[in-house]
């Protein structure tokens, strides 16, 4: 069954899957939340520090994918040294880390389109947590979900080309508006550098959400079985490091240019998006349209990249009999895990009905479950190294495990500012309950 997965991905596709799975539309739709948490200084330092802290985890994944090129990634790494229950738990948590991004993007497409077409806010259907769900927004989210599901069903080659086009398109738009923004802005707009909570809390509140927005560099191992047969050894490891570096740089630069081009305190108080801040600073809507075009491309690619990662993990669980074996089947024509793709697509469509109420809780839960999966991978590397007697990389993996545990504790310890509230606990508990039901 493993050999039936299509092997057609090259180095560029792996980079765009890694980078593309990290950078979505958060930089556009919730920039005001990032700046409210930390101010420009706290937000930039939070993302920069978070990226540096994630490097040991990325290095460990690079070593693991070279030794064990398996779509199961965390499942494959842990099953060699831990009981099957641990392997299932690690895989199931990482499925959530990726799958939870998909409805976020399905909801965000309506948010994004409403900035271009205000009629998207017409025809209200119902309200959840004070957020109104309208028919046009819901239809847009469901249509996008169907499109991404179809692209993935048709084959990894189609998905890879789609990822290349959308990622490179985003980077082109990003380069234009960053250059224009730095040329136009004013240093007075960046003051004060930190939120009212002070430098330490400002950085902490942003650092807590960095794992969610940086989840994606480790999506590369999930597609490792679909690499071209002529791809040089070590390519995937290098692409993991390139993706995390590019992702961290992107977030730091976009926060800097937004705060530079328009007073960040006004962005927070008026709940402005990135494109609105640029439109007001330049006095013309054309720059906003460019940013929205980049955001649309960004949305498509992060949805696609995370659906690829989530479905490969579900496929790996089914192939090992950890969930129903039907989820481990491969379409004989397209070489894709079609049943897993159908399941994740349907779950995404169902979650899209929850609307904007999803956005912030999803960010918080995504950070914690990513930390659990990363910790499992680092611990598996340490155990495998001790078993083989090869200690190279063990110290890095230990550091990665410590960082991962800290990420989880920041979200689950009530005394820590920004820790889980009841919506996050409900979302996490519901996912754990679903895992118990599906556990085979």
Q: H or E stretch including 132?
A: strand 131-134
Q: What is the pLDDT of residues 172-183, one digit of tens each?
A: 989 998 999 999
What global pTM score does this model have?
0.89
pLDDT exceeds 60 at position 3: no
Higher pLDDT pick, 29 / 382: 382
Give me the pLDDT at residue 112, please.
Answer: 83
Q: What is the pLDDT of residues 236-249, one digit of tens each?
A: 999 999 999 999 99
Which residue shows structure tokens 């976020």?
104
How would residue 32 be classed by pLDDT, with cut points 50, 70 and 90? very high
DSSP state string for 267-281: HHHTT--HHHHHHHH
pLDDT exceeds 60 at position 185: yes
Give me the pLDDT at residue 264, please.
Answer: 94
CA 237, 241, 246, 252 dihedral sign is positive
Q: For residues 236 and 72, give the distance between their C-alpha atoms in angstroms, rounded to a whole number.
A: 15
Any idea which of 85-89, 110-114, 302-306, 356-360 has the lowest mean pLDDT? Answer: 356-360
Burial of residue 413 (number of CB atoms within 10 Å: 0-12, 13-18, 19+)? exposed
Q: What is the mean pLDDT of residues 427-437?
A: 87
Q: What is the pLDDT of residues 109-147, one digit of tens each?
A: 888 888 888 888 889 888 887 788 899 999 999 999 999
When the pLDDT of each residue in the chain is averaged and rounded to a whole number, the result is: 89
pLDDT exceeds 50 at position 314: yes
CA nearest neighbour of 348 among 149, 124, 71: 149
Count the neighbouring beta carbons within 10 Å of the beta carbon of residue 134: 19
Percent of the chain residues topping a pLDDT of 70: 97
Q: What is the pLDDT of residues 188-239, one digit of tens each?
A: 999 999 999 899 999 989 988 888 788 889 989 998 988 888 888 889 999 9
Tell me 195's DSSP state. -
């Amino acid at each position: 069954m493993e050999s039936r997965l299509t092997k057609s991905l090259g180095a560029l596709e792996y980079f765009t899957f890694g980078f593309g799975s990290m950078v979505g539309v958060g930089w556009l739709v919730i920039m005001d939340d990032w700046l409210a948490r930390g101010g420009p200084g706290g937000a930039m330092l939070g993302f920069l520090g978070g990226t540096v802290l994630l490097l040991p985890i990325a290095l460990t994944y690079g070593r693991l994918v070279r030794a064990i090129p398996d779509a199961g990634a965390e499942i494959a790494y842990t099953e060699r040294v831990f009981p099957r229950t641990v392997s299932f738990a690690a895989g199931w948590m990482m499925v959530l880390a990726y799958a939870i991004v998909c409805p976020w993007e399905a909801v965000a497409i309506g948010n994004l389109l409403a900035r271009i077409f205000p009629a998207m806010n017409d025809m209200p259907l119902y309200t959840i947590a004070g957020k109104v769900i309208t028919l046009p927004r819901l239809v847009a989210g469901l249509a996008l979900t169907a499109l991404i599901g179809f692209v993935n069903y048709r084959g990894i080659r189609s998905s890879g080309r789609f990822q290349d086009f959308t990622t490179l398109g985003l980077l082109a738009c990003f380069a234009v508006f960053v250059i224009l923004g730095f040329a136009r802005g004013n240093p007075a707009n960046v003051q004060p550098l930190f939120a009212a909570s002070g430098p330490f809390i400002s950085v902490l509140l942003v650092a807590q959400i960095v794992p969610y927005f940086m989840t994606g560099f480790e999506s590369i191992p999930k597609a490792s079985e679909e690499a071209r047969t002529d791809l040089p050894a070590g390519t995937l490891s290098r692409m993991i490091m390139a993706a995390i570096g590019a992702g961290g740089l992107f977030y730091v630069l976009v926060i800097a240019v937004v705060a530079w081009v328009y007073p960040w305190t006004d962005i927070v108080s008026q709940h402005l998006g990135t494109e609105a801040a640029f439109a007001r600073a330049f006095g013309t809507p054309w720059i906003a349209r460019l940013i929205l075009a980049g955001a649309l491309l960004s949305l498509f690619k992060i949805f696609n990249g995370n659906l690829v990662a989530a479905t490969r993990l579900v496929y790996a669980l089914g192939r090992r009999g950890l969930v129903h074996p039907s989820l481990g089947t491969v379409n004989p024509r397209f070489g894709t895990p079609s049943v897993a793709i159908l399941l994740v697509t349907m779950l995404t469509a169902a979650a899209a009905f929850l609307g904007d109420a999803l956005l912030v809780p999803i960010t918080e839960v995504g950070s914690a479950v990513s930390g659990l999966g990363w910790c499992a991978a680092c611990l598996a590397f340490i155990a495998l190294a001790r078993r083989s007697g090869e200690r190279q990389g063990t110290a890095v993996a230990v550091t990665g495990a410590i960082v991962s545990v800290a990420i989880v504790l920041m979200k689950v310890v009530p005394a820590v500012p920004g820790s889980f509230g009841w919506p996050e606990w409900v979302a996490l508990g519901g996912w754990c309950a679903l895992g118990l039901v599906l556990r085979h």
